[in-house]
Amino acid sequence: EPEVTQTPSHQVTQMGQEVILRCVPISNHLYFYWYRQILGQKVEFLVSFYNNEISEKSEIFDDQFSVERPDGSNFTLKIRSTKLEDSAMYFCAVSPLQVGNSPLHFGNGTRLTVT
């Protein structure tokens, strides 16, 4: 059973629309991450989240992106105004410990298609 459940598995949206991708960890984890993989390319770090705030973000994670844990369980990634180049697989990952001390456990991803 995966440590993380992601919904939806596939999201199709029109350019300029807002999307929210959801992640629900099964057990208690302290660290949360979003990664993305554009088709055929590498898995890219977007953002890490700890203690209800962003701990680190990449250059990809611009003002169009935001993350939150609205109810203490769901961890969401919001893209305010989607662009064609946002089409990718988005993976949520969790870890009980800080990166460098334990592996990340990934969900099965949400395939986002922006048309």
Where does this chain bind another protein (CB under 8 A)? 2, 4, 6, 31, 33, 35, 41-45, 48, 50, 55-56, 58, 91, 93, 98-101, 103-109
Q: Identify which of residues 15 and 38 has a Cβ nearer to another protein in the complex.
A: 38
Q: What is the nearest approach in angstroms of another protein to the Cβ of residue 108?
A: 5
Q: What is the nearest approach in angstroms of another protein to the Cβ of residue 106?
A: 3
Q: What is the nearest approach in angstroms of another protein to the Cβ of residue 45?
A: 4
Q: Identify which of residues 48 and 87 has a Cβ nearer to another protein in the complex.
A: 48
Q: Identify which of residues 59 and 71 has a Cβ nearer to another protein in the complex.
A: 59
DSSP the chain: --SEEEE-SEEEE-TT--EEEEEEESS--SEEEEEEE-TTS-EEEEEEEETTEEEEE-TT--TTEEEE-TTSS-EEEEESS--GGG-EEEEEEEESS-BTTB--EE---EEEEE-
Q: What is the nearest approach in angstroms of another protein to the Cβ of residue 7?
A: 13
Whole-number Å distance between alpha carbons of 115 and 112: 10
